A and B are shown apart, each in its own frame.
Chain A
């Protein structure tokens, strides 16, 4: 199983809503990532979890709240988002956080978020 599974694939929410994006991998990877990708731009790193602990937070606004309940799951809780937060949110995983392995990231299909 070499898949990273993300749900939902599409999400439309209002600025006052609370929603969550979910990500799951069963490759035994110990590092998981959230990236944000705007149209025609490269992915931008948001958060990194290594061994279920938050290791990198790229100064992301607090309206985005990550959670790693266990080594296979990664959530991104969304609250009071702005229209400019509309983007493709990509989850990825790797064996370890880069240095101890090839560092190859495996990406999920993404969750396309639209904030109205």
Chain B
């Protein structure tokens, strides 16, 4: 069964702190995506990670991919309130039916 697991599912942190969200997946993949969703809104593409060792940064967010460990991380540096949202990782499985499988999402709340 194809599984994408995120942890934590809920994260409450103080402004200015650092934290990491983890995304594990169950079988071989070379494509991983991170999306952000604000309440009642659509999904915004944050990062596209296409190869082992890929690292991308945008502002206070940095994403990485380790295909051998089947692990991606989303690191938050010096969090600010505007980062409060739900973050999803999603994976396309090699040799599969070209479906994008989402993790359950991590709801991030950044407190002043």
Contact = CB atoms under 8 A, between A and B. Distances in A.
Nearest to B88: A42
Nearest to B94: A99
Nearest to A100: B98
Contacts, number: 56
**Range class of the A interface residue count:** 20 to 34
A105 interface: yes
Interface string B41-56: 1111100101000000
Nearest to A96: B98
Contact of B41 (A103, A104, A109): A109
B99 A42 contact: no
A42 B33 contact: no
Contacts of A41: 104-105
Interface string A25-40: 0000000000000000
B70 interface: no
A108 B40 CA distance: 12
B92 interface: yes
A42 B100 contact: no
B25 interface: no
Contacts of A42: 88, 102-105
Given A41-B105, A99-B98, 8 more contacts: A42-B104, A44-B102, A56-B97, A98-B98, A103-B33, A103-B92, A103-B100, A110-B42
The 4 closest A-B pairs by CB, nearest first: A42-B102, A107-B43, A98-B98, A107-B42
Interface of B: 31, 33, 35, 40-45, 48, 50, 88, 92, 97-100, 102-105
